[in-house]
Amino acid sequence: MELRKRSYCDQVLRVNLSSGEFETTPLPGETMPQILGGKGLGAWMFYHEQSPGVDPLSPENHLFFHNGPLTGTTAPTAGRFGCTTLSPATRTYSDTYCGGYWGQTLKYAGYDALVVTGAAQEPVVLVIDDDQIELRSAKHLWGLNISQATQRLRDELGQDWQVLTIGPPGEKQRNLAGIFNDSRALARGGVGAVMGSKNLKAILTRGSGSVKVHDPDRYQRALQLAFRAVRMSSETTLLNREGTLNILEIVNVMGALPTRNFQQGQFEAAENLSGDSFRKHNWNKDYACFGCPIACGKYTRPLEDDLVIEGPEYETTYALGPNCAIGDRETIIRLNWWCDEYGIDTISAGGVVGLVMEMFERGQIAADDLDGIEPRFGDAGAALALVEKMAKVEGCGEWLGQGVAAIAEKYPGAQPYAMHVKGLEMPAYHPNAAKGTALAYAVSERGACHLRGAPLGELFSGSADPLSIEGKAQLFRDHQADKAVWDSACLCYFPGYGMKLKELWQLVVAATGFDYPAVKDFELVGERISTLARMINVREGFSREADTLPMRNLGQPMVGGPADGHVVELAPMLDEYYGLMGWDSQGVPTPQRLKTLQLINGHDHSI
């Protein structure tokens, strides 16, 4: 199979930081139609190449960067790429995705994936310039934050390089650390800590190649249909106007906006944090990732001390705003700046601050434990002080930067209201008010996640009753398969407000020439990939016991709003979901289902 004429480079670059050696290997050609690329390729390589049970921060943990067949093409939002590893925060399989401008340069340099193994003795930068691969010393960059390191590297090598880098929290291997390409991030699961454990400060890419699609005429037709679907969507128009914050007030009305560390689902100052408010008072310019016709990103006007960010997005605003009872836009902009500038995940940072505020108000943590900070809900100064400490990894910031689960382990009294699943802090939809989303949080491979098929339409479109569990297992199962192919083809999800799976299928078939006769065959690829990720977690020792939610969701009825009195009835949704997936009662895929998905053949692995 000539993959180079099917939107692939047919090359994986492998860099062993312990030995300093590089090599390239071809893609698993016959297997590619079954795993597609992106998430599928990352999960496949993880399953076959990574030993189970390794320490996530040891040289034995690998970092898999991967793009998909659509990365670098003319498809809408085709700059997408991902990173898969064993997470230090959750010890699960963990994949995270990013827009920006790095993904397509790896492809133009000639690689579908980059696998980083081992660990360097001293800080290094990996430079990928087509087939010229080099490791350079990064001693002079260690300790620099994201924009400083990025600028210094561009000053040294040239302005045309794309830079992926970590800040001090990544260097010091904190669970909250992400990997940043300018203002865009591989944010979740502590991937920055894994990069720091390898003494890898940055990866620079530059490429002169291009992507060849299989059937250019068919691809052009599919492209027209895809762009038309994106343009005709009212949601993408809203995204352009108000960014992802366009949904904040709706989520608040539905009683699902997590407030005061999930004690409530409605925030009294929500109007102040709407996309409309930010647009009127704070934003002055759009931002678009590579190849994006939507441009949901927004730059803020400079604050009086010239501070500017790209953001804040909805998830960031929930976490650092209502979750901490902060309704002041400028404070949220400043909190967002600390996270982006030093390289930490905003969702997790807000989760930590919300938890610590509640602990302090309940008398379960003292100012002495927090370097004299007295965090109460709504206290902007305390929130800024805590986030600064996590960003600089100073004082209490050293252990706060390990995340909510680690804090609750240190202070067991906080366990009932430590808002995480499997060790990953919760996204911006209150599970008690959105039952299908609750199931997604409980089951998603990397921990609490809204991006692996959470049926958020239950809150926005009126297509399902958000407070009912009826039909939610099926809804989540279908969305999960869809999302797995989007992450494997590698497009941003937001064109999906206009494009449906059919338009994605048409693009992928034209670009790759793979024989997926109907959309349902394409969906099966998604189910196969999700199941492969589940198999990795099963191998790591996870099963039904880990598919759970915090006590606050399972046993503490919501107070106020449309979800007043609601808890999450998780067990029946889990049973139904496992049944639909062909998993046993403990959440382990059955041999029959693995065979149907062509994941095993008899007792052997077939892919």
> Is 441 an interacting residue with respect to ligand SF4 (CB under 6 A)?
no
For residue 76, say if its preceding peptide bond is cis, omega within 30 degrees of 0. Answer: no
Size of the site for ligand SF4 (CB under 6 A): 11
> Could you tell me the smallest distance in angstroms from the CB atom of residue 284 to ligand SF4?
16
Q: Judged by CB, which is closer to ligand SF4: 99, or 343?
A: 99
Q: Judged by CB, which is closer to ligand SF4: 60, or 276?
A: 276
Position among 35, 86, 127, 289 found at the interface with ligand SF4 (CB under 6 A): 289
Residue 284, φ and ψ in degrees, nearest 5: -135, 0
Residue 66, φ and ψ in degrees, nearest 5: -145, 145
| Count of Cβ atoms closer than 10 Å to residue 140 Cβ | 12
Question: Given the DSSP bridges, would you call strands 21-25 and 200-206 parallel, antiparallel or unpaired?
Answer: unpaired
Q: Judged by CB, which is closer to ligand SF4: 101, or 411?
A: 101
> Is 235 an interacting residue with respect to ligand SF4 (CB under 6 A)?
no
Q: Judged by CB, which is closer to ligand SF4: 185, or 573?
A: 185
Window 568 to 607, contacts with ligand SF4 (CB under 6 A): none
Residue 552, φ and ψ in degrees, nearest 5: -60, -30
> Is 241 an interacting residue with respect to ligand SF4 (CB under 6 A)?
no
> Could you tell me the smallest distance in angstroms from the CB atom of residue 70 to ligand SF4?
12
- Angle made by CA atoms 600, 601, 607, in degrees to the nearest 5: 50
Which of 239, 234, 3, 218 minimizes the C-alpha distance to 99?
239
Window 46 to 85, contacts with ligand SF4 (CB under 6 A): 77
**Of 209-217, 294-302, 378-386, 463-471, which segment contacts ligand SF4 by CB under 6 A?**
294-302
> Could you tell me the smallest distance in angstroms from the CB atom of residue 413 to ligand SF4?
39
Q: Judged by CB, which is closer to ligand SF4: 275, or 375?
A: 275
**Of 7-15, 65-73, 290-298, 563-571, which segment contacts ligand SF4 by CB under 6 A?**
290-298
Q: Judged by CB, which is closer to ligand SF4: 292, or 489?
A: 292
> Could you tell me the smallest distance in angstroms from the CB atom of residue 289 to ligand SF4?
3
**Rounded CA gap, 318 and 249, in Å?**
11
Residue 583, φ and ψ in degrees, nearest 5: -105, 160
Position among 1, 225, 295, 551 found at the interface with ligand SF4 (CB under 6 A): 295
Residue pair 210/171 in contact (Cβ under 8 Å)? The answer is: no
Q: Judged by CB, which is closer to ligand SF4: 236, or 274?
A: 236
> Is 251 an interacting residue with respect to ligand SF4 (CB under 6 A)?
no
Position among 296, 326, 390, 597 found at the interface with ligand SF4 (CB under 6 A): 296
For the chain, counts of helices (H) and of strands (E): 24, 18
Window 181 to 200, contacts with ligand SF4 (CB under 6 A): none
Question: Given the DSSP bridges, would you call strands 63-66 and 81-86 parallel, antiparallel or unpaired?
Answer: antiparallel
- Angle made by CA atoms 415, 419, 420, in degrees to the nearest 5: 100
For 390-420, the three-class secondary structure string (H helix, E strand, C coil) is HHHCCCCHHHHCCCHHHHHHHCHHHHHHCCE
Residue pair 447/175 in contact (Cβ under 8 Å)? The answer is: no
**Rounded CA gap, 150 and 132, in Å?**
20
> Is 294 an interacting residue with respect to ligand SF4 (CB under 6 A)?
yes
> Could you tell me the smallest distance in angstroms from the CB atom of residue 77 to ligand SF4?
4
Angle formed by the axes of helices 472-489 and 570-581, nearest 10°: 60
Q: Dihedral sign, CA of 341, 346, 348, 349?
A: positive
Position among 70, 115, 141, 292 found at the interface with ligand SF4 (CB under 6 A): 292
> Is 297 an interacting residue with respect to ligand SF4 (CB under 6 A)?
yes
Site string for ligand SF4, 478-507 (x = CB under 6 A): --------------x-x-------------
Residue 311, φ and ψ in degrees, nearest 5: 145, -160
Residue pair 563/253 in contact (Cβ under 8 Å)? The answer is: no
203 phi-psi bin (left φ>0, alpha ψ -120 to 50, beta other)? beta
Q: Judged by CB, which is closer to ligand SF4: 153, or 294?
A: 294
> Could you tell me the smallest distance in angstroms from the CB atom of residue 262 to ligand SF4?
26
> Could you tell me the smallest distance in angstroms from the CB atom of residue 297 to ligand SF4?
5
Q: Which residues bind ligand SF4 (CB under 6 A)?
A: 77, 99, 288-289, 292, 294-297, 492, 494
